[in-house]
Amino acid sequence: MTPLLELRQVSRRFGARTVVDAASLKLFPGRIACLLGPSGCGKSTLLRMIAGLETPDLGEIHIGDRVVASPAGALPPEDRGIGLVFQDNALFPHLD
């Protein structure tokens, strides 16, 4: 069975700091997954890469059978069919 989402050794650095280090996972239809970890461990960066807001420095992200992100290039966020809901109201801080 082909995974809906697969990350293969995905890494992301900001300067000299590695924030995601060789993350791999497979998500299959009908399954539920959760990312858990302490503040600053790279959860949001990983989700931003899946959604297309960040590009991995190493590794690949697959949605179905398509490579949507790798160091060679990335599919734009609007062409991925992935949604991301932010935890805080950073987009419109004046709204409640």
pLDDT tens, 53-81? 999 999 999 999 999 999 889 999 999 99
Confidence of residue 1 (pLDDT cuts 50, 70, 90): confident
The beta strands (E) that lie in the chain are given as 5-14, 17-27, 58-63, 66-70, 73-74
Q: Which helix (DSSP H) or strand (DSSP E) does residue 47 occupy?
A: helix 43-51
Q: Which residues contact 47 (CB under 8 A, 6 or more apart)?
A: 35, 84
pLDDT tens, 7-18? 999 999 999 999
pTM of the model: 0.86
**Please, what are the domains in the chain?**
5-79 (3.40.50.300)
pLDDT tens, 82-96? 988 877 656 666 666
Q: What is the pLDDT of residue 91?
A: 61
Q: What sign does the dihedral 68-11-50-14 (CA atoms) show?
A: negative
